[in-house]
Structure 1
Amino acid sequence: MRLIISSCVFLLLLHCCHITDIHGQKSDSALTVVEDPEGADGVVSDEEEVTADEDEGVVDVLRPTEEWQTLKPGQAVPAGSHVRLNLQTGQREVRLGEEQLKYWTQEHRETEETRSSFSPEELKRAMKKMKEDLNPESRDSDQQDSVASRFRPLDELKRDMAQLDLQVETDVQIMRRLLDQFNSSNSTTEQKLNVLLELEYLVHQVDNAQSLCSMGGLQLVVEGLNSSDFRLQESSAFVLGSAVSSNPAVQVKAVESGALQTLLTMLATTQPLRVKKKVLFAVASLLRNFPHAQRHFLSRGGLQVLSEMFREDGGGVLRTRIVTMLYDMISEKELISQTGLDPMLDASHEERLRQYSKVPLSGELLEKGWCSLVPQLLESTEHDYREKALRALLAMAPVCLDQYRSDGSLHGSLLSLRDQYQEMAQSEMIVGEENGYYAEIAELINALQVKLRR
């Protein structure tokens, strides 16, 4: 029995010595992982003890992929790789972790193809770069720094401008300077024309036009209409028309300043064509969507003045502008009357409806002979002139229908124009324009003829 126990003790001691000898040797299949100096978490699975050997200098690094690969003895893997032990083959296998996929781009792979090994320092730099790429805050900060480096601070720009003695003027300051120059006795006609040209550009903005009124500039523009130089008259009318366009506050100021009466006087007297065109523009802008001004226009014989201009104009330019202005006045009053049937409209609309009801436009058109004047524009060879005339005739039909039916020349013109524009509309359809311009004019002619047959 003692002999058996002694034998067992001896065998046990021999086995422990053998194990100690094994642990004292370096395994040929030891797995080396390059450590991240920034503290990145390397992931290695399957309870495999990982050692980092930085004394070897250059190590053989397995290039990771998305698929499992067999590790050869002595090969190293980057930190963050997934390692497992294949129980069927008894070999260790490795593949990339999800966080490494971005680093192993095509650019890195092409570089890796030319090199089979890396030093520990190179691997550390690569891992640091991968960590920075995964940090969005770092990228945003770099982008902001890059954008900021391309622009100078506002305070620095202000200091530079102060050194250059530069001043940034507001629109109000510019207009005040222009008005002072226009009012100066030393200003020449050319300088005043330049002032009016700059003002016309500025007053397209609603606030600038109202500021012009508060500075007394509107009165200066109205006084410019009475100048003996037709160039100043033309430019002043242009500024006035631009200032009152779609600007109710300035429209009211213009009527109160007597601008409407001055404009009508200019239309009634002999003036160059270019002046009358700008004056008509100013009148149309002043009357548009402003029933109070329309009522004053009619009470001061505005339609009579326009009818005389219509008869005197041989070229058709002024005729077209006059007819267009009349069409706008008729259409907006009709539109207000139609929407007035809606019981949900507010009190301001009711007030506008009341104001338009005081504008006796239909009776004035009939009395001043416009039912026979507008058809004369159909004799023009310009398609645009004919279109404007047809639209005005349709708008005036409720007032002028009886005179239309007794006007033989109007019937003859409509028949001739219908054949002409139907043929032209067919030509449009051949080239693929089903709803072309000529077809639209043909529809206007047909609509007017339908009204005449009723």
Structure 2
Amino acid sequence: MRLVSSSATLAFILLLYCCHLILGQKSDSALTLVENTEGGGRGEGGNDDDEEEMTVDEDEGDLEVVQPTEEWQTLKPGQAVPTGAHVRLNLQTGQREVRLGEEQLKYWTHGHRDKEEIQTLFSPDELKQAMKKIKEDLNSVSTDQQIMKRMLEQLNSSKLSTEQRLNVLLELEYLVHQVDNAQTLCSMGGLQFILQGLNSSDFRLQESSAFVLGSAVASNPVVQVKVVESGALQMLLTILATTQPVRVKKKVLFAVASLLRHFPYAQHYFLSHGGLQVLSELFRADGGGVLRTRIVTMLYDMISEKERITQAGLDPMLDASHEERVHQSSKVTLQGELLEKGWCSLVPQLLESTEHDCREKALQALLAMANVCLEQYHSDSFLLGSLLSLRDQYEEMILSEMIPGEENSYFAEIVELIDALQIKIK
């Protein structure tokens, strides 16, 4: 829920209420009672700044409370002053006088003087009514579930324009980052509207729908299962395999990667339905290299995750859910698919990129694939030459005084990846 405005108003009202209490209203805090004494202060050593204070509780009587100002003002017998105020005996007149304390003076003399009249803007009753009104407003704010329900009703309307649909999808994407909201959206039938958007002939609706889907399934196993069962993965692969704008394919790759992450069942479905073949064709067609890094990163994540699950499978203390994940992961024949679909020669091409991040992702993937691609690495003259050239380049960059110190460690990590891969190949 977006309660920023109401919360800010409440904080402001509370501040006003506190100022009202501090600057003159009777409160539950201690007050200083000025005694009715005549004459001098502390004998010959007295001075006109000496204070005599007595702390009393308000319930001892209906005291008249003085509101101090910056100027000294005369106190009448029996009057009380707020804690923190300065009281003195004026030796010339013999009268008690009061003004604001030092801390209070600092406050009023540092740009707050213009707020002095705030204390008169609201009475205690008015403040109570205002706070009650704020509470009622907060109670009337719609929950995320109510908001999503209205959004789905809008998406179900044939009168909604494309621009309006795009705005609704944008709001949905914001909401489904919350795990509970994404699950609620599915239970309310919202997934069908996302699939309708993916199947639209308008590429803008495809892009936005894929974005919502990717955000909804991210780290959300409940939604991941429902999305796979809905047939959405096949729709996403179809979009990647057909002629579509790059901006659409970016969001679709995001949705696919989010759906496959930590979900061996979806990975098995992806492989058995030609997912790696679709990605290899997309990789070859991506002359600009915009999608290649995303594709290789997805592959690296899948390889690394399978290795972790396989290693975890050796732990005898695993519970039933882990055992099921290990069982599902055993069906993911990723390494053999990578070799068969030509990825051992495709990934090295990413080393041609001038982007350090692209090179890093390629080196990580090449290392992860080394067990099945080692024979091809040995005969790949382009790969071997690229590794030597890149190592020299990054060594020079590390030694160069032109490179900031923080980047040296990053470049050193890339050199370590190159060294590790060269050791594997030897």
- TM-score normalised per structure 1: 0.68
The count of corresponding residues between Structure 1 and Structure 2 is: 343
Amino acid of the structure 2 residue aligned with 1:157: I
For each residue in 1:17-41, what CA deviation from the matched residue of structure 2 results, as whole angstroms up to 9, or x when unmatched? xxxxxxxxxxxxxxxxxxxx98x9x
SS in 2 for 1:317: coil
Shift in Å, 1:168: 2.0
For each residue in 1:286-323, what CA deviation from the matched residue of structure 2 results, as whole angstroms up to 9, or x when unmatched? 00000000000000010011111111110111111100
For each residue in 1:175-207, what CA deviation from the matched residue of structure 2 results, as whole angstroms up to 9, or x when unmatched? 111111111111111111111111111111111
- Asked if residue 385 in structure 1 is aligned to residue 358 in structure 2, the reply is yes
Amino acid of the structure 2 residue aligned with 1:437: Y
**Which of 155, 165, 168 is the equivalent residue of 2:132?**
155
Distance across 2 between alignment mates of 1:269 and 1:445? 36
Map 1:75-114 → 2, pairs under 5 A: none
**Which of 323, 327, 341 is the equivalent residue of 2:296?**
323
- Asked if residue 337 in structure 1 is aligned to residue 310 in structure 2, the reply is yes
Distance across 1 between alignment mates of 2:157 and 2:133? 38
Distance across 2 between alignment mates of 1:368 and 1:147? 76
User: Residue 378 and residue 150 in structure 1: after superposition, are their counterparts in 2 closer, same or farther (change >3 A)?
Assistant: farther
Counterpart in the other structure of 1:208: 181
Distance across 2 between alignment mates of 1:79 and 1:437? 67
Shift in Å, 1:212: 0.7
SS in 2 for 1:185: coil
Shift in Å, 1:432: 3.5
Q: How much is the aligned-residue C-alpha RMSD, in angstroms?
A: 3.5
- Asked if residue 290 in structure 1 is aligned to residue 263 in structure 2, the reply is yes
Counterpart in the other structure of 1:355: 328
Checking the alignment, whether the CA contact within 8 Å between 1:58 and 1:117 is kept in structure 2 is no
User: Residue 106 and residue 167 in structure 1: after superposition, are their counterparts in 2 closer, same or farther (change >3 A)?
Assistant: closer
Counterpart in the other structure of 1:244: 217
Shift in Å, 1:437: 2.1
Distance across 1 between alignment mates of 2:382 and 2:276? 24
- Asked if residue 58 in structure 1 is aligned to residue 34 in structure 2, the reply is no
Counterpart in the other structure of 2:274: 301
User: Residue 263 and residue 106 in structure 1: after superposition, are their counterparts in 2 closer, same or farther (change >3 A)?
Assistant: closer
Distance across 1 between alignment mates of 2:303 and 2:124? 57
Distance across 2 between alignment mates of 1:240 and 1:154? 41
Distance across 1 between alignment mates of 2:247 and 2:53? 85
User: Residue 376 and residue 436 in structure 1: after superposition, are their counterparts in 2 closer, same or farther (change >3 A)?
Assistant: same
**Which of 173, 176, 201 is the equivalent residue of 1:228?**
201
Counterpart in the other structure of 1:256: 229
Checking the alignment, whether the CA contact within 8 Å between 1:424 and 1:439 is kept in structure 2 is no
Checking the alignment, whether the CA contact within 8 Å between 2:240 and 2:249 is kept in structure 1 is yes
**Which of 365, 385, 401 is the equivalent residue of 2:374?**
401
User: Residue 421 and residue 216 in structure 1: after superposition, are their counterparts in 2 closer, same or farther (change >3 A)?
Assistant: same
- Asked if residue 171 in structure 1 is aligned to residue 148 in structure 2, the reply is no
For each residue in 1:232-272, what CA deviation from the matched residue of structure 2 results, as whole angstroms up to 9, or x when unmatched? 11111111111111111000000011000111111111111
Distance across 1 between alignment mates of 2:226 and 2:145? 18
- Asked if residue 194 in structure 1 is aligned to residue 167 in structure 2, the reply is yes
- Asked if residue 274 in structure 1 is aligned to residue 242 in structure 2, the reply is no
Counterpart in the other structure of 1:452: 425
User: Rg larger in 1 or in 2?
Assistant: 1
Checking the alignment, whether the CA contact within 8 Å between 2:397 and 2:403 is kept in structure 1 is no
Uncovered stretches (5+) of structure 2, i.e. residues with no partner: 1-31, 55-83, 102-122
Identity over aligned pairs, percent: 69
For each residue in 1:131-188, what CA deviation from the matched residue of structure 2 results, as whole angstroms up to 9, or x when unmatched? xxxxxxxxxxxxxxx99986756533356x59xxx95211111111111111111111
Checking the alignment, whether the CA contact within 8 Å between 1:377 and 1:386 is kept in structure 2 is yes
Distance across 2 between alignment mates of 1:180 and 1:413? 56
Counterpart in the other structure of 2:3: none
User: Residue 428 and residue 350 in structure 1: after superposition, are their counterparts in 2 closer, same or farther (change >3 A)?
Assistant: farther
Counterpart in the other structure of 2:22: none
Checking the alignment, whether the CA contact within 8 Å between 1:371 and 1:396 is kept in structure 2 is yes
Distance across 1 between alignment mates of 2:244 and 2:255? 15
Checking the alignment, whether the CA contact within 8 Å between 2:40 and 2:91 is kept in structure 1 is no
Distance across 2 between alignment mates of 1:430 and 1:233? 42
User: Residue 60 and residue 303 in structure 1: after superposition, are their counterparts in 2 closer, same or farther (change >3 A)?
Assistant: closer
User: Residue 147 and residue 424 in structure 1: after superposition, are their counterparts in 2 closer, same or farther (change >3 A)?
Assistant: farther
- TM-score normalised per structure 2: 0.72
Uncovered stretches (5+) of structure 1, i.e. residues with no partner: 1-36, 41-52, 66-76, 81-104, 130-145
Amino acid of the structure 2 residue aligned with 1:345: L
Checking the alignment, whether the CA contact within 8 Å between 1:428 and 1:434 is kept in structure 2 is no
Amino acid of the structure 2 residue aligned with 1:58: G
Shift in Å, 1:358: 1.5
Amino acid of the structure 1 residue aligned with 2:227: A
User: Residue 194 and residue 408 in structure 1: after superposition, are their counterparts in 2 closer, same or farther (change >3 A)?
Assistant: same
User: Residue 452 and residue 107 in structure 1: after superposition, are their counterparts in 2 closer, same or farther (change >3 A)?
Assistant: same
Distance across 2 between alignment mates of 1:191 and 1:106? 61
Shift in Å, 1:346: 2.8
SS in 2 for 1:209: helix
Checking the alignment, whether the CA contact within 8 Å between 1:280 and 1:321 is kept in structure 2 is yes
Counterpart in the other structure of 2:65: none
SS in 2 for 1:304: helix
Distance across 2 between alignment mates of 1:409 and 1:148? 82
SS in 2 for 1:436: helix
